[in-house]
Amino acid sequence: MDQYNGYIGRMIDQLSSLPGIGTKSAQRLAYHILSIPIEKVRELADSMVDAKENIRYCKECLTLTDEEICPICANQKRNHKQIMVVENPRDLAAYEKTGKYEGVYHVLHGAISPMLGIGPADIKLTELMRRLQGDVDEVIIATNSSLEGETTAMYISKLIKPTGIKVSRIASGVPVGGDLEYIDEVTLLRALEGRTEI
């Protein structure tokens, strides 16, 4: 395609390298970018480079942050004795959005996956164990409800048990508002097993 040589072609290639963006979307985005003022394009481009250059891991919980210590870990009103372990910063963001969790987090940056060759040494477990040497009451494991997430949860649980610190796992079950007929059997069984008296 002649007209996708040069600068437009390069931009379309770059955009379609992003996850979830196919050639058609990349094309649409590229023409949008060409249609907005250059200052706006610079703002967009700079926001990406600036973020990448300035974001680092929080020294405490390892989430991505602008500061040495992220705002959550720096907040003295949060319960620093309660640590929720999540796979990545997006999961942390999801729990923060509930606005109800008062503890702090620990970001693993991955999950154990024998299939993908990701072992315990490849996720931030050493850092978690180091934090547990401090004053911690409970570790809540909030890894995903996938095979990798469950494997990781099991592994962490066994690792922490000897320390005597309470370890819990977030509940699996039917999503609120979920229609039973569309939910897979494994989830339905989990919901049954996890039933509570009312």
When asked if residue 13 is in the footprint of its own copies (CB under 8 A), the reply is: yes
Q: Which stretch of DSSP H or E encloses residue 141? A: strand 138-141
C-beta of 48 vs 121, nearer to its own copies: 48
C-alpha span between 36 and 29 (Å, rounded): 11
Q: How far is the CB of 99 from its own copies (least distance, A)?
A: 9
- Quick check: helix, strand or coil at residue 102? coil
Determine if 23 is a binding residue for its own copies (CB under 8 A): no
Q: What Rg do the C-alpha atoms of the chain give, in angstroms?
A: 21
Closest approach of Cβ 98 to its own copies, in Å? 11
CB of 31 to its own copies, least distance (A): 6
DSSP-derived secondary structure letter, 166: E
Asked if residues 123 and 108 have their Cβ atoms less than 8 Å apart, the reply is yes
Q: How far is the CB of 123 from its own copies (least distance, A)?
A: 14
- Choose which of 68, 76, 97, 140 interacts with its own copies (CB under 8 A): 97
C-alpha 7: how far from its chain's center?
Answer: 34
Nearer to its own copies, 93 or 189 (CB): 93
Report which of 153, 93, 147 is spatially closest to residue 128, judged by C-alpha positions.
Answer: 153
Site for its own copies in 31-90 (CB under 8 A): 31-34, 38, 41-55, 63-66, 70-72, 75, 88-90
- Which 124-183 positions form the footprint of its own copies (CB under 8 A)? none
Distance CA 71, CA 68 (A): 10
Nearer to its own copies, 43 or 158 (CB): 43
Among 93, 116, 147, 189, which residue sits at the site for its own copies (rule: CB under 8 A)? Answer: 93
Q: Is-contact 87 144, C-beta < 8 A?
A: yes
Output 92 or 160, the one with its CB closest to its own copies.
Answer: 92
Q: Which residues touch 89 (CB under 8 Å, ≥6 apart)?
A: 63, 64, 107
- DSSP conformational letter for 197: -
Q: Which residues bind its own copies (CB under 8 A)?
A: 1-8, 10-11, 13-15, 17-21, 25, 27-34, 38, 41-55, 63-66, 70-72, 75, 88-90, 92-93, 96-97
